[in-house]
């Protein structure tokens, strides 16, 4: 005699009872609870999260998308992991923005509060082991991507030839300063410089001025022939590209500033959007990003960065014409990789949703 075990046919009830028996379990993916938090700078704090399920293989500097509910609505935000693979707890250093939705949620959340979390994705990484210098350039919150690489290099004992330049307006806004000074003392070959654009430099590791041709000589490592990773606002990474692309062996950048989306010519027109899986047909504005239009219709497509980077909102488009709002390019061909967050309809569309 054999026995077969199956889930109860009424799945929502099963989900409810399993959630009671296993706090943290969710039918919608992994979750993590906040185990502690601490100030990281005047306007930032670090959260330590313990995931319900161990994350898959990931690399230093990758990002984590977290989901939370505020005032009955569900939101998602993406942050760089500053902890290292293999550590029990996940560290996220986040900036506290007055009136920001995630900041408001955090203010009310205490220890034990749960977030939904994605698998890690994207991220900057060094790829040229033969490069004589490795240079990290960070502005504002971009320090989290740089710090992940610094910690990974320190864990491997490979700090020779590594330099970090970090821009903030005021000294009080700088994160990880104590840790960076300790790493300098432990690894004298590691070079670090803090650039201040609003305060006056007073210490040997400080300099003033924004990144431009005049401050290149003050960088902690020679960018000529170096591998350069840069993260910060869009204007900052654009300056990095303009100044160092020709001199460096490789330049890789990330920006946490959402792209400026262009409006299609037919911004006020309405189009018919057919959702192939359900057969539902929606009438949506042609000039609205598809992700926003679907959310306005009460749907909740999978998404993450809302900037065309993470790929979590990618879907297939069997029919129709869409425009990429980042550069205005028009795409009449069928696509398996349409990004809902940065695409708008130019004609009636059919999506695999």
Pairing mode of beta strands 44-51, 31-41: antiparallel
Sheet strands (E) in the chain:
31-41, 44-51, 63-70, 73-80, 90-95, 114-117, 134-139, 162-168, 191-196, 206-208, 227-232, 250-255, 270-275, 280-285, 314-317, 322-324, 330-331, 335-339, 343-345, 349-351
pLDDT for the residue 307 = 79
Question: In whole angstroms, what is the distance from residue 316 CA to residue 115 CA?
Answer: 29
The pLDDT of 27-51, averaged and rounded, is 89
42 has pLDDT over 90: yes
The pLDDT of 129-136, averaged and rounded, is 94
7 has pLDDT over 50: no
Q: Give me the helix-helix angle, 143-156 and 177-186, nearest 10°.
A: 30
- DSSP for 111-144 reads TT-EEEE---B-------TT-S-EEEEEEGGGHH
Q: Say if 11-117 and 270-351 have the same CATH topology.
A: no
pLDDT for the residue 51 = 94
The pLDDT of 123-146, averaged and rounded, is 94
Task: Give which of 220, 222, 214 is closest to 248, Cα–Cα.
Answer: 222
The pLDDT of 109-113, averaged and rounded, is 85
pLDDT band at 13 (very low <50, low <70, confident <90, very high): very low
pLDDT for the residue 263 = 61
The pLDDT of 339-350, averaged and rounded, is 90
pLDDT in tens, 271-302: 899 999 989 999 988 888 999 899 988 888 88
29 has pLDDT over 80: no
19 has pLDDT over 70: no
The tokens for 12 are 């929502």
Q: Does domain 270-351 have CATH number 3.10.20.30?
A: yes
Pairing mode of beta strands 114-117, 31-41: antiparallel
pLDDT for the residue 334 = 83
Q: How many residues does the chain have?
A: 353
Of 264 and 160, which is predicted with more confidence?
A: 160
The pLDDT of 133-152, averaged and rounded, is 96
pLDDT band at 267 (very low <50, low <70, confident <90, very high): low
| Domain limits, the chain | 11-117, 134-255, 270-351
pLDDT band at 266 (very low <50, low <70, confident <90, very high): low
pLDDT for the residue 17 = 45
pLDDT for the residue 1 = 36
Task: Give which of 201, 152, 200, 150 is closest to 180, Cα–Cα.
Answer: 150
pLDDT band at 26 (very low <50, low <70, confident <90, very high): low
The pLDDT of 90-119, averaged and rounded, is 86
Rounded percentage of the chain residues whose pLDDT exceeds 70: 88
SS3 at position 219: coil
Weakest mean pLDDT among 157-166, 235-244, 342-351: 342-351
pLDDT band at 323 (very low <50, low <70, confident <90, very high): confident
11 has pLDDT over 50: no
Average pLDDT of the residues of the chain? 86
pLDDT for the residue 2 = 38
pLDDT for the residue 85 = 93
166 has pLDDT over 90: yes
Q: Does domain 11-117 have CATH number 2.40.30.10?
A: yes
258 has pLDDT over 80: no
As its CATH architecture, domain 134-255 has: 3-Layer(aba) Sandwich (3.40)
Weakest mean pLDDT among 4-18, 117-131, 224-238, 249-263: 4-18
75 has pLDDT over 90: no
Do residues 131 and 250 touch, judged by C-beta distance below 8 A?
A: yes
pLDDT in tens, 210-247: 999 999 999 999 999 999 999 999 899 999 999 999 99
């Amino acid at each position: 005699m054999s026995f077969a075990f199956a889930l109860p046919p009424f799945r929502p009830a099963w989900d409810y009872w399993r959630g009671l028996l296993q706090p943290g379990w969710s039918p919608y993916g992994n979750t993590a609870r906040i185990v502690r938090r601490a100030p990281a700078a005047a306007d930032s704090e670090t959260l330590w999260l313990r995931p319900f399920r161990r994350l898959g293989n990931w690399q230093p500097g990758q990002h984590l998308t977290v989901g939370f509910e505020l005032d009955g609505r569900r939101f998602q935000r993406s942050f760089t992991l500053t902890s290292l693979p293999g550590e029990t707890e996940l560290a996220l250093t986040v900036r506290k923005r007055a009136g920001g939705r995630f900041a408001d949620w955090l203010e009310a959340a205490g220890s034990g509060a749960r977030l939904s979390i994605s698998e890690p994705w994207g991220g900057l990484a060094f790829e040229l082991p033969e490069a004589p210098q490795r240079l990290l350039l960070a502005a504002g919150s971009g320090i989290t991507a740089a710090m992940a690489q610094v910690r990974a290099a320190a864990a491997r004992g490979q700090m020779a030839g590594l330099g970090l330049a970090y821009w903030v307006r005021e000294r009080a806004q700088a994160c990880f300063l104590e840790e960076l000074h300790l790493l300098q003392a432990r690894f004298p070959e590691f070079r670090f410089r803090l650039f201040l654009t609003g305060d006056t430099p007073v210490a040997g590791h400080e300099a003033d001025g924004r990144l431009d041709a005049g401050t290149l000589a003050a960088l902690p490592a020679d960018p000529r022939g170096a591998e350069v990773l840069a993260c910060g606002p869009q204007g900052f990474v654009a300056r990095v590209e303009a100044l160092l692309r020709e001199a460096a062996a490789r330049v890789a950048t990330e920006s946490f500033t959402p792209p400026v989306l262009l409006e299609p010519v037919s911004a006020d027109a309405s189009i018919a959007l057919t959702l192939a899986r359900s057969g539902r047909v929606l009438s949506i504005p042609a000039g609205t990003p598809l992700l926003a239009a679907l959310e306005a219709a009460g749907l909740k497509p999978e998404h993450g960065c809302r900037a065309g980077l993470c790929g979590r909102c990618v879907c297939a488009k069997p029919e129709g014409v869409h425009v990429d709002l980042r550069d205005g390019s028009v795409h009449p061909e069928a696509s398996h990789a349409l990004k809902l967050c940065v695409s708008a309809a130019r004609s009636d569309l059919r999506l695999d949703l």
